[in-house]
Amino acid sequence: MATIPPPVFYPPFQITRVSHAAMTVRDLDRSMAFYTRVLGLVVSAREGDTAYLRGIEEVGHHSLILRQTADAPRCERIGFRVLTELELDKAHAHFTALGLPAEWVDRPHQDRTLSVRDPFGMPVEFVARMTPMPRRTIQTDHFPGGAALRFDHLQVHSAEITGACDFWTSLGFRTSDFVVGGPDDTLIGVFMHRKDIPWDIVFMPGPGPRLHHFAYCIPGVQEMMRACDAAGIHGFGQQVERGPGRHNQGHVQYTYLRDPDGHRVEIIPESPKQMLDLENTPQRWDEAKRKATMDWGYPAPQSWYDDASPFAGAEPKPGMTVPGRISLEQYLAQRGR
């Protein structure tokens, strides 16, 4: 029987939210065209082989870093904010005490930054502050594509869902939703958060750790359609991978796109749910039954289950066989198609 560990309300250091991702790309111009025209991200800086982008309302310098290399595309690291500089020192002491890698690194446009790896090899960094940039919230005549507002969450393929849930719970993350499957009630997914919506980081089963997707919040469904239209207009139409559709968990609409290097990005409107009070206990979902909760539209293509971006320096372990999940062929056969 899957159980979720109790929340840690006074963690060893204070993380506030997921903040950014750094991805490698093979053609920076092409990638920038995708993220600025389709998602509507703002370019904060382009310096040599690296571009720094942010959402329209973000005042931190960047939430997406694109670095051009000739190597296979990967995620170099994911980033989280901490409450103050003091929390960085606490984080350094905590990871060091656990025997996990932790070192201070210089990152352009970021104040003091701590680079660590979680017990599963995922490259993570913590930062309290970046170079401030102007909000562009009222410059509505400069909002192309999806008009992405801000970095929202990310999802990771994990070979050790229970272990990941335990570790990130120990850092103060609370579980909003969890998914179980099979006769043994195996834990096969957790939605975890620090900010007051149901997700900052999600762990789902698959060879991992690998980055399944990162997500930007957009103003609404209309902007989702505009992003898809922009994808079509600018030659990225075939990279709309899944959706538009609606999630069961969180009850939020979604569209997943693949960028020119295959990195997956999701766009979603703002969460309709707040998660903050003590009454917000983890909600359990059964993998087989949740299909019947809001069963409309097509299921995800197989690529959505299989493909993910490798993390730099992390060798993925084989993922579990997911109990209770049906294939696209089974889904269509059930409906006589």
- How far apart CA 238 and CA 307 sit, in angstroms, is 16
The interface mask with Fe ion, positions 6-25, x = CB under 5 A, is: --------------------
- How far apart CA 261 and CA 48 sit, in angstroms, is 19
The one-character DSSP state at 44 is E
State yes or no: residue 200 binds Fe ion (CB under 5 A).
Answer: no
Binding part of the chain for Fe ion, among 39-47, 179-187, 211-219, 300-308 by CB under 5 A, reads: 211-219
The pair of structure tokens assigned to 52 is 């720094």
When the beta carbons of 11 and 243 are compared against Fe ion, the nearer one is 243
* Residues numbered 62-81 forming contacts with Fe ion, rule: CB under 5 A: none
* Residues numbered 137-156 forming contacts with Fe ion, rule: CB under 5 A: 155
Report, in Å, the least distance between residue 192 CB and Fe ion: 12
Asked if residue 109 lies in contact with residue 20, where contact means CB atoms within 8 angstroms, the answer is: no
Report, in Å, the least distance between residue 198 CB and Fe ion: 10
CB atoms within 10 A of CB 108: 13
Position among 102, 187, 211, 215 found at the interface with Fe ion (CB under 5 A): 215
Report, in Å, the least distance between residue 248 CB and Fe ion: 12
The one-character DSSP state at 221 is H
State yes or no: residue 266 binds Fe ion (CB under 5 A).
Answer: yes
- Compute how many residues bind Fe ion; rule: CB under 5 A: 3
Rg (CA), the chain: 19
Q: Are strands 240-246 and 201-205 parallel, antiparallel or unpaired?
A: unpaired
The pair of structure tokens assigned to 275 is 């998660």
Report, in Å, the least distance between residue 214 CB and Fe ion: 8
Asked if residue 217 lies in contact with residue 150, where contact means CB atoms within 8 angstroms, the answer is: yes
When the beta carbons of 110 and 155 are compared against Fe ion, the nearer one is 155
The one-character DSSP state at 142 is G
Report, in Å, the least distance between residue 254 CB and Fe ion: 7
Interacting residues toward Fe ion by CB under 5 A:
155, 215, 266
